[in-house]
Every structure is written in C-alpha cells, then in structure tokens.
C-alpha cells in the first residue's frame, strides 16, 4: 500500500497539531509500526535506527536522547527519532499508519476506538466510523504481524 492510500484521521479545519505548534504525541512515543510502515520508512530515510522490536514482539518507533522539540509536553520529554528539531515530522508524507490515525486509538478491552486522552487538541479532529474501522483494522494487523514474529499462527 502506498503512503498516499493509507487512511488519515479527518480534521475540522487546517492541521490541529501544526496550528497549535504541538508535537506532544511525538515525544515519549510508544507508536507501533506495521511491516509496511517499516519498509516505507526505511526506503524514505535510508536509515534503520528509528525503530526497535520490543520484548512483546511489536515493532516500535524509537525515541532519542536530546532536547525536546517545540510543542513537547515537558522539557525532559524524549522526541521521536523521526521528529525534526523544529517539532515537525521529518517523514510527514510517509509517516506510520498509527501516526496518521492519531489521536484515534483502538481500545482492545472496550473493543472500540476513541480519542487518546493525552492529546490536548482532540477538538480539532473528527472520529467518523471509517476512522474507527481503520483503527480497528490497524490493531488487528499489528496483532497478526506480532504473532508471526513470535511464531504464532495468525
């Protein structure tokens, strides 16, 4: 799937994150990656230092040491390895699917999507059924890929 075909969360207007100078979700991130995200980002960046496989088998964006970028939730927050020094995403056009859907998150216990309580600008986003479905499908795909990595049948 090309990056242009990936679902993105709809907004009320503009870009709530950029409009508010916010990069809170890009700090101390635990963003999970699909295999397709990883392949696309490797091709885009020519790097392999922006991710890791966590002990639980999920692929995850890495944070980096260094100063927090503008819009961070705190001065000690660790920025995503792909966040530019000015607080913007260095791979915006090719960003991971989870980043595209954020602040919509899938709650496996409630079995539904909702806005992440850590996002300070959820009022700038919409959460139609299509986005909720995309978050559910992403969570399922991440689980299947993790199962394969751990040697479990999907």
> Model pTM?
0.92
2 compared with 49, residue with greater pLDDT = 49
Q: Would the pLDDT of 153 be above 80?
A: no
To 10 degrees, the CA torsion angle through 10, 16, 17, 21? 170
How much of the chain exceeds pLDDT 90, in percent?
A: 92
Q: Which pairing describes strands 51-53 and 59-61: parallel, antiparallel, or unpaired? A: antiparallel
Q: Using an 8 Å Cβ cutoff, are 149 and 53 in contact?
A: yes
Residue-wise DSSP of the chain: --GGGS----BSSS-HHHHTT--GGGBS---EE-HHHHHHHHHHHS-S-SEEE-TTS-EEEPB-SSPPPTT-SSTTPPBBTTB-TTSSBTTGGG--HHHHHTTEEEETTTTEEEE-TT-TTGGGB---HHHHHHHHHHHHHHHHHHHHHTT---
pLDDT digits (tens, 9 = 90+) for 5-61: 788 999 999 999 999 999 999 999 999 999 999 999 999 999 999 999 999 999 999
Task: Give the pLDDT mean for 127-151.
Answer: 96
């Amino acid at each position: 799937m090309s990056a242009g075909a990936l679902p993105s969360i709809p907004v009320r207007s503009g870009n709530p994150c950029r409009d508010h100078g916010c990069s809170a979700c890009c700090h101390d991130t635990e963003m999970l990656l699909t295999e397709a995200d990883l392949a696309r980002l490797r091709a885009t960046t020519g790097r392999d230092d922006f991710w890791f496989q966590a002990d639980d088998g999920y692929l995850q964006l890495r944070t980096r040491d260094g100063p927090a970028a503008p819009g961070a939730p705190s001065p000690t927050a660790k920025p995503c390895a792909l966040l530019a020094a000015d607080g913007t995403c260095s791979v915006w056009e090719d960003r991971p699917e989870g980043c595209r859907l954020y602040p919509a998150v899938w709650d496996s216990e409630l079995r539904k999507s909702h806005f992440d309580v850590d996002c300070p600008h959820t009022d700038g986003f919409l959460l139609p059924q299509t986005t909720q479905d995309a978050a559910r499908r992403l969570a399922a795909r991440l689980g299947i890929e993790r199962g394969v990595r751990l040697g479990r049948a999907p």
